[in-house]
Homo-oligomer: A and B are copies of this chain.
């Protein structure tokens, strides 16, 4: 059983035992896992993170975790199930901004605001753990490593958003769907939820349309096209990517934004204490590149 499967099994078990707190193996929370992808953590830091998940609660498919424009009082992590954030538009349509999987932190974008910019809803039954603004600030004060880790996570989210933006702005329906499927494939693979290119995708075609900026009708047509081209099979909520690399290529997928590691330097503790000692900081000089012909090509 791989570590990520273990983590998920553990998360489930922990949910069962109500009232368990921090006397647990600190390795196994989905959040801790997420941070460990970025940096190493002291026990103390793990405790700080685990405290984020002290109040797990169940939520059912379709539940609204919070509404657009509601007051920002807390954030949450998701330890089971899928969720998404969305905005309702004037013409009655809806844009899904991001799909959340277990281990993700939800709502950090709202940190800087007093009202929510987007609602969040459960796609299927699951477990979320709310935590407060104050908790986040406490992390800022307690640990530079965690702060940098949080910062990195937000940056990464921004990168994903950027990628999605380019998709919606510039690419065809086939490319958009291919990109989305491939991204899900990679994200799910990391948490051990892919088997030979096959995985569960609990989104309706209408929801997919809302993710991709397409009509549900055209999502259907695009799946049909993929089936006829032998790229993707789909049955209800299960999909099989027959040729993941072809999808990646079709959609010009650049995995950097998911995989590229944070430069180790920034989490090297020795280096940090060196810095703390007050060694002066020297910026290297930056020389702008003159573009060949006055204007960028």
Which residues of A line the B interface, CB within 8 A? 38, 51, 54-55, 57, 59-67, 72-74, 76, 87, 89-91, 93, 95, 97, 108-115, 117-118, 121-122, 128, 130-135, 137-138, 140-141, 144, 147-148, 150-159, 161-162, 164-166, 168-170, 213, 252, 256-257, 260-263, 265-266, 272, 275-276, 281-291, 294-296
Contact B138 A147, beta carbon cutoff 8 Å: no
- How many copies of this chain are found per oligomer? 2
Contact A161 B159, beta carbon cutoff 8 Å: no
Q: Which residues of B contact A61 (CB under 8 A)?
A: 294-295
Q: Which residues of B contact A95 (CB under 8 A)?
A: 165-166, 169-170
Contact A113 B260, beta carbon cutoff 8 Å: yes
Contact B110 A155, beta carbon cutoff 8 Å: yes
Contact B288 A137, beta carbon cutoff 8 Å: no
A-B contacts, 29 listed (Cβ < 8 Å):
A54-B283, A55-B283, A57-B285, A57-B287, A60-B290, A62-B291, A62-B294, A63-B288, A64-B289, A64-B296, A65-B286, A72-B263, A76-B286, A89-B252, A97-B165, A109-B155, A112-B153, A114-B261, A115-B260, A117-B162, A121-B291, A128-B288, A137-B144, A150-B151, A154-B154, A161-B162, A165-B165, A168-B168, A169-B169
Select from chain B the residue with minimum beta-carbon distance to A150: B151
Partner of A111, one of B76, B130, B151, B213: B151
Select from chain B the residue with minimum beta-carbon distance to A131: B283
Contact A133 B166, beta carbon cutoff 8 Å: no
Among A65, A141, A152, the most chain B Cβ lie within 10 Å of the Cβ of A141
Among A63, A89, A256, A288, the most chain B Cβ lie within 10 Å of the Cβ of A288
Bound-complex Cα distance A38 to B252 (A): 38
Bound-complex Cα distance A153 to B158 (A): 12
Contact A64 B151, beta carbon cutoff 8 Å: no
Expressed in whole angstroms, the minimum distance between the Cβ of A103 and any Cβ of chain B is 16
Contact B144 A213, beta carbon cutoff 8 Å: no
Expressed in whole angstroms, the minimum distance between the Cβ of A139 and any Cβ of chain B is 10
Q: Which residues of B contact A113 (CB under 8 A)?
A: 155, 159, 256-257, 260, 262
Contact B169 A213, beta carbon cutoff 8 Å: yes
Partner of A151, one of B57, B112, B286: B112
Q: Which residues of B contact A117 (CB under 8 A)?
A: 159, 162, 256-257
Partner of A159, one of B112, B128, B165, B260: B112
Bound-complex Cα distance A260 to B117 (A): 10
5 A-B pairs with least C-beta separation: A169-B213, A112-B152, A130-B286, A112-B155, A168-B169
Select from chain B the residue with minimum beta-carbon distance to A69: B256
Among A109, A252, A272, the most chain B Cβ lie within 10 Å of the Cβ of A109
Q: Which residues of B contact A141 (CB under 8 A)?
A: 144, 272, 275-276
Contact B93 A170, beta carbon cutoff 8 Å: yes
